[in-house]
């Protein structure tokens, strides 16, 4: 039985938090208890970590900061550099313990990665190691902009090489000026075996709950039936 998803992206700033919040709303519609998790957040603004606050609001289970976001780093730079500047060593066991605690409280845990799929988090590990730690199905957020086809296909290859299951991908239209969006999406659909779960239009002030209807999770029910 699936207990959640690991959300990764083709790069930083491609909308992982947006898609994570949409998924939380979509999964809660069937009265599921859902919670978000941001193992590592890098970048504090006005005393808060925006990604963490958005995940907190979208979830239906209230949890402590330590569980929702085990590592909150001040600077919006690569996690291993931000942690090092604060004298912090990111420890996978701390992240793993928080994840299992959340799993006791919710039906689904949506885990949002940091940056792309292989961003370093300490001297020897990267975000792909976090994904392997949880062994959750992965959802890839493709930021639709010039270069996205190459970034997406390389990330799909990296997910497979890590021995993880790619559940599907989402096309997030982050560049309102991008040309040939439909053609780019068609090229990716032809080359990625797993399904396109939804296309999210550009929106400078997105309504997560309203947009959640754009995510197709019908495959979740069939996979649940297959696991019985």
Q: The tokens of 18 are what?
A: 């947006």
174 neighbors 181 (Cβ within 8 angstroms): no
Identify the active-site residue in 29, 38, 44, 182.
Answer: 38
Do 33 and 124 form a contact (C-beta atoms < 8 A)? no
Residue 1, token pair as written in the block = 């039985």
Order of strands across the sheet with 34-37?
34-37, 108-112, 4-9, 138-143, 166-172, 196-200
β-bridge mates for residue 7, sequence order: 112, 139
Question: What sign does the dihedral 186-6-161-166 (CA atoms) show?
Answer: negative
38: annotated active-site residue = yes
User: Residue 31: CA atoms inside 13 Å, Cβ hemisphere, count?
Assistant: 0
Catalytic residues: 38
């Amino acid at each position: 039985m699936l207990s959640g998803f690991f959300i990764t992206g083709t790069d930083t700033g491609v909308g992982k938090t947006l898609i994570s919040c949409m998924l939380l709303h979509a999964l809660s519609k069937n009265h599921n208890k859902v919670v978000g998790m941001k193992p590592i957040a890098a970048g504090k603004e006005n005393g808060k970590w925006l990604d963490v606050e958005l995940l907190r609001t979208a979830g239906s289970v209230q949890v402590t900061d330590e569980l929702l976001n085990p590592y909150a780093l001040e600077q919006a730079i690569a996690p291993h550099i931000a942690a090092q500047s604060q004298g912090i060593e990111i420890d996978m066991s701390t992240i793993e313990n928080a994840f299992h605690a959340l799993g006791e409280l919710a039906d689904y845990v949506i885990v949002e990665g940091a940056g792309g799929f292989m961003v370093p988090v300490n001297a020897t590990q990267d975000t792909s190691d976090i994904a392997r730690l949880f062994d959750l199905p992965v959802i890839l957020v493709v930021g639709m902009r010039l270069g996205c086809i190459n970034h997406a296909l390389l990330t799909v290859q990296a997910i497979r090489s890590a021995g993880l299951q790619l559940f599907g991908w989402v096309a997030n239209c982050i560049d309102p000026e991008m040309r040939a969006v439909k053609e780019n999406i068609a090229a990716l659909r032809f080359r990625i075996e797993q399904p396109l779960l939804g296309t999210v239009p550009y929106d400078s002030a997105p309504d997560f709950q309203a947009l959640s209807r754009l995510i197709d999770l019908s495959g979740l029910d069939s996979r649940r039936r297959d696991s019985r």
